[in-house]
Amino acid sequence: MARKDRPAKKQTAASRKPNGGDKPLRGAERSAYFARREAAKVLRTVLEGDARRRAVGSIKSLVYSPSIRNKRATFALVCETLKHLPVIKDVLRATNVLNSKWKRQEELLCVIAYDILFGKESSATGDAEKLLLSRKDKLRSALVHLLEKKRVKHIKELMPQCKISDMPKPRYVRVNTLKMDVESAILELTKQYAVDKDDMVPGLLKLPPSTDLHKHPLVLNGSIFMQGRASSMVAAALEPKPGWWVSLLSTEELIPSDVLDACSAPGNKTVHLAAIMKGKGKIIACELDKQRVKRLEATVRLAGATNVKVKHEDFLKLNPEEPHCSKIRAILLDPSCSGSGTAIDRLDHLLPSYAAVLDDTGNSDRLMKLAAFQKKALEHAFSFPAAERIVYSTCSIHQIENEDVVKSVLPLAASHGFQLAPVHPQWPRRGLPVLDGSQHLLRTDLVEDGEGFFIALFVRKADKRPEGYAERETCERYRSKRFLRKKMDFVNYFFNNRFRMLLYPQFRFKKQR
């Protein structure tokens, strides 16, 4: 009996040669091919955000997103390409590679050029790789000519230099108590690492430096969040209570009050608020940028924060007189800033704009524009009628974005009944002494603490609440009052109408006769 020929096995996208050939890629070649393209994708997002001064996310967060498969190789390629980017671009321009055909793939060409000039030489696995390998000698000749032109002997002399502290920084993680209790998280983490509780923020844990948790199951399922200590202090400073209620004098009605996160993305502080509120009440999370809204929504889903409502809206355009805004009792305002306090942690020192970020004089125009926006946002926060607590925070080390903004709004804050209140009094580093009440402000040091944050807390005086609002009550107290009221109504009804008939049944029969 003749044997039937078996159909040829189809090649998968991963095994097929990317340049259209029949020879499949080997494991290492395939991994390098896709890592270069993933690195180019991340590099484009990073550079576009840096040019607009509004990043979608940090380099680390973009590389360690679920869509990136080969995270280790991609991370190394992105970082090394950024370090050598000015030199690579000069070389590509000198060899006339960035013509109209390849201009759209500039980031990919930069990644491949790094491999050819400074890393492992690429194999001819794709059209872009073939193009640069065919001009390998010209690229290296252009690099030598560039060194001679700049009168330097080594490539390191052409790269931007920045001072980074060598002090090891602990890894902090915050337990998402919406999904897991703190003790269970400690029990799970201590199987692999030394874990200590933080003495400042409840639910914050300290692990050894360089601890890599990006693939840990608790991180992937949202049970813990990798969040810095200073960043975790912000939501804790607002201290929202679960199930807040506000009482309206006009109707004598108790309605649930809300918490507003004015500039929410990427959402770590938003879901921290949700955890502090134990998933009760409602948090309105505003974000203007469409791409950042997507990331905010992903963070909220991962955390299981069902009490968060994401709004793709400009905080400055919210009308405090609208019904849904008149119930907002606490506001967290963490507006766009220079990011100078987290530049090292976010690897922003690799970006083209880093030198300007740390230089007050060279970047004064941008800082002044940021400070003007921050002041406008903080002034808008004071106009919400039911607001009692407002936290203003930045991840900046510059006085113009921190103490100067707070000082400029103090008269307006006082007119609305707000005053500065202490933020984490046990913390040793306070605000710069340039205004009255600077001892209530909180600063973290970029070198000693690894992050440069600033936090200010405004609290409305009890006798300065706006007309039409009475004392606030928590949800638990209101519910207990309502339950007791209903219980007493039922007892009175039962006693007056039913209990008498049970005791004296003859009255009922006499009525029937």
Structure confidence by residue, pLDDT tens digits, 63-88: 887 788 888 889 889 988 988 888 99
pLDDT band at 124 (very low <50, low <70, confident <90, very high): low
Give percent above pLDDT 70 in the chain. 76
Q: pLDDT grade, residue 49 (50/70/90)?
A: confident
Q: What is the pLDDT of residue 255?
A: 62
* pLDDT higher than 80, residue 476: no
Question: Is 250 or 376 the better-scoring residue by pLDDT?
Answer: 376
Is the pLDDT score of 251 beyond 70?
no
DSSP-assigned beta bridge partners for residue 393: 455
**411-433: average pLDDT:** 96
* Range of 30-34, 172-176, 447-451 with top mean pLDDT: 172-176
**Residue 167: pLDDT band by 50, 70, 90 thresholds?**
low
pLDDT at position 196: 97
Q: Chain-wide mean pLDDT for the chain?
A: 83
Beta strand spans in 278-341 (E): 282-287, 308-312, 328-333
- Is 5 a residue whose pLDDT tops 50? no
The answer on pLDDT for 401 being more than 70 is yes
Annotated binding site for S-adenosyl-L-methionine: 263-269, 287, 314, 334
Task: Report the DSSP beta bridge partners of residue 286.
Answer: 311
Q: Which class in CATH covers the domain with range 170-226? A: alpha beta
Lowest mean pLDDT among 3-12, 231-240, 274-283, 358-367: 3-12
Give the separation between CA 370 and CA 376, rounded to whole angstroms.
Answer: 10
Binned at pLDDT 50, 70 and 90, residue 100 comes out as: low
Residues 248 and 470: beta-carbon distance below 8 Å: yes
Angstrom distance (rounded) from CA 490 to CA 486: 6
Contact by Cβ (8 Å): 347, 58: yes
- Please state, in angstroms and rounded to a whole number, the distance separating the CA atoms of residues 231 and 342: 10
The DSSP output letter for 270 is H
Active site residue ranges: 395
Q: Measure the CA–CA gap between 298 and 225, rounded to whole angstroms.
A: 13
**Neighbouring C-alpha atoms within 13 Å toward the C-beta of 449:** 21
Angle between helices 85-94 and 71-83 (to 10 degrees): 70
Of 51-55, 240-244, 443-447, the one with minimum mean pLDDT is: 51-55
Query: Above 90 in pLDDT, residue 28?
Result: no
Q: What is the mean pLDDT of residues 306-324?
A: 93
Averaging pLDDT over each range in 61-75, 153-167, 231-245, 305-319, which range is the top one? 305-319
State yes or no: pLDDT of 105 exceeds 60. Answer: yes
Q: Which of 474, 340, 460 minimizes the C-alpha distance to 402?
A: 340
Q: What is the pLDDT of residues 185-228, one digit of tens each?
A: 999 999 999 999 999 999 999 999 989 898 899 999 999 999 99
pLDDT exceeds 50 at position 432: yes
pLDDT value of residue 15? 44
SS3 for 298? Answer: helix
For tokens 């949202």, the residue is 222
Angle value at C-alpha 191, between 190 and 192, nearest 5 degrees: 85
Sheet strands side by side (includes 473-474): 253-256, 244-248, 473-474
> pLDDT > 90: what percent of the chain?
48
**Which pLDDT does position 48 carry in this prediction?**
86
pLDDT at 152: 82
Annotated binding site: 263-269, 287, 314, 334
411: burial class by Cβ within 10 Å (0-12, 13-18, 19+)? exposed
44, 45, 48, 54 alpha-carbon torsion, rounded to 10° = -160
- The tens digit of pLDDT for each residue in 343-354 reads 776 676 677 776
Answer with the residue of higher pLDDT: 110 or 365: 110
pLDDT score at 499: 54
**Do residues 263 and 286 touch, judged by C-beta distance below 8 A?**
yes
Higher model confidence: residue 125 or residue 381?
A: 381
249-264 burial, b at 16+ Cβ within 10 Å, e below that, comes to: eeeeebeebbbbbbbb
Query: ∠ CA(74), CA(75), CA(79), 5° rounding?
Result: 115
- How would CATH label the architecture of 231-460? 3-Layer(aba) Sandwich (3.40)
DSSP assignment of 61-111, as one string?
A: HHHTSTT-SSHHHHHHHHHHHHHTHHHHHHHHHHTT---TTTGGGHHHHHH
- What the block records as the tokens of 197 is 């509780």
